[in-house]
Amino acid sequence: MTFRIGPDDMEEIALGGAFLGTGGGGDPYIGKLMARSMMLEHGRDVEVVPAAGIADDALCVPVCMMGAPTVMVEKLPSGKEALAALRALEEYLGRKADYLICIEAGGLNSTIPFAVAAHTGLPLLDGDGMGRAFPELQMVSMTLHDIAATPMVIADDKGNSGVLNAVSNLWTERLARAATVEMGGAALVALYPMTGAQAKKGLLHGTLGLVREVGRTLLSERRAHRHPGDALIERCNGVDLCTARVIDIERRTIGGFARGVARLRGMDADHGREFSLSFQNEFLCLEDDQGRPLALTPDLICSLDADGGLPVTTEALRYGLGIRLIGLPADPQWRSPGGQDLAGPKYFGYAHPFQTLEELAGTTRAA
């Protein structure tokens, strides 16, 4: 179903993206302001269309931010970098894009494409490559369907840009990450140029619609003076993982990523328990005080402020903050062997073999 997003709708998109972004993808507030500004400046809403009805030979291009979310807190994009990356890729390909794509349904990268769409007048496809946020460029459903990340354009706030061609999507990540570090830890990119036929096969469909629904649920529950956690668990078939307070946090920006571990002490029904929450841009592994996993990538670990119910990103974690963690099942493609190879616990160096949220919940109850 086609729908339109206007300036007043961006709050829903930003909140929904922040929740589904599993703590990563950058602060969506920045992208919300950029998108609203572009919509108002150009006097138009953004049209979101299903990929099923587009022409097979259409050119579809994702635009996104690459780098550590912690950097974006101080190094704000102007909005011109993503457009510059898109224009440079179009020039390299020798044709204009017909549709834009969100690379992930999370954080800043669920809002930046709306800004570019408002500037160019291009529609957005109702889908993305992750159904959440992941820290590396090759961790997208397009990789599972043999769609190449390159040619790719990377652009920074200083006006630098470059075209990258790589032998694989993993090499695209490695080379582009090195360039991003030299560009100050964050850059804007246009990549995975694909045909309409490839988009129909390679995208996770309907995710922007889900982002909007989640954002609406957050807003409506808060207006009713209810914590949105229960409603989101019901809407997204989720699992209540824990409610806890941050008692210690180790966080560092290294190699173009925000990496760290937060130590949590249980509150309310979880009083007397402790937890460990590990992240690399996104929340990837939650363990109890016995070292047993409660949730593992690629399933989603989503965080809400325990009091206000707003999403909490990794860069916003701080000592004393109370959070409620909710687990959501990943798209079935991520639970496949190929999905596990790309973004499972083993890839990130965790000792736990992947178990689904449903399996882990059963194990925990049995223990």
Establish if 222 belongs to a structural domain. Answer: no
Same domain, 177 and 239: no
Q: How many residues does the chain have?
A: 367
CATH number at residue 46: 3.40.1610.10
Give the pLDDT band (50/70/90) at residue 285: very high
| Band (116; pLDDT cuts 50, 70, 90) | very high
Integer Cα distance of 84 and 176 in angstroms: 16
Token output for 307: 């009091």
Instruction: Flag the least confident range among 76-85, 244-253, 333-342.
Output: 76-85
Residue 214 domain-assigned (yes or no): no
Q: 144, 175, 207: which is the final residue of a domain?
A: 207
| Same domain as 168, residue 63 | yes
pLDDT per residue as tens digits for the range 59-74: 999 999 888 666 666 6
In a domain, 215, yes or no: no
Q: Given a cut of 60, is residue 364 above it in pLDDT?
A: no
Residue 146 is predicted with a pLDDT of: 97
Domain boundaries, position 110:
3-207
Cβ atoms of 179 and 187 within 8 Å: the answer is: yes
* Cα-based distances in Å from 257 to 137, 167, 182, 298: 12, 23, 13, 18
Q: Are residues 183 and 236 in the same domain?
A: no
8 with 151, same domain: the answer is yes
Q: Which of 13, 9, 56 is nearest to 215 (CA)?
A: 13
Residues 164, 275 within the same domain = no
Q: Sort residue 49 into left (φ over 0), alpha (ψ -120 to 50) or beta.
A: beta
Check whether residue 63 and residue 98 sit in a common domain: yes
> What mean pLDDT comes out for the span 314-324?
94
Is the preceding omega at residue 69 within 30 degrees of 0, hence cis?
A: no
109: Cβ contacts below 8 Å, ≥ 6 apart? 17, 21, 25, 26, 31, 64, 65, 102, 103, 133
Residue 39 in domain: yes
**286 and 183 together in one domain:** no
Q: What CATH code is carried by the domain that includes residue 311?
A: 2.40.390.10
Residue 337 CB burial class (10 angstroms; 0-12, 13-18, ≥19): exposed
| Other Cβ atoms within 10 Å of 338 Cβ, number | 15
On whether both 118 and 200 belong to a single domain, the answer is: yes
Per the domain annotation, does 61 fall within a domain? yes
Domain total for the chain?
2
Spatial contact of 232 and 217, defined as CB atoms under 8 Å apart: yes
CA gap 195, 236 in Å, rounded? 30
- Report yes or no on 213 lying in a domain: no
Chain centroid to CA 231: how far?
21
- The residues facing 238 across adjacent strands are none
Which of 67-76, 277-286, 315-324, 351-360 is predicted least confidently? 67-76
> What pLDDT does 365 receive?
41
Does residue 223 lie in a domain region?
no
Final residue belonging to a domain, choices 153, 174, 207: 207
Angle (CA) 96 138 294, round 5°: 135
Q: Do 165 and 49 share a structural domain?
A: yes
Is there a domain that residue 220 lies in?
A: no
Query: What span, in angstroms and rounded, lies between the C-alpha atoms of 342 and 287?
Result: 21
Amino acid in the structure at residue 252: R
Distance CA 128, CA 212 (A): 14
Same domain for 184 and 244? no
Q: How confident is the model at residue 106 (pLDDT cuts 50, 70, 90)?
A: confident
Within this chain, do residues 8 and 150 fall inside the same structural domain, yes or no?
yes
Tell me, yes or no, whether 171 and 241 share the same domain. Answer: no
pLDDT digits (tens, 9 = 90+) for 125-152: 999 999 999 999 999 999 999 999 999 9
Helix 207-223 to helix 229-236 angle (10° resolution) is 150
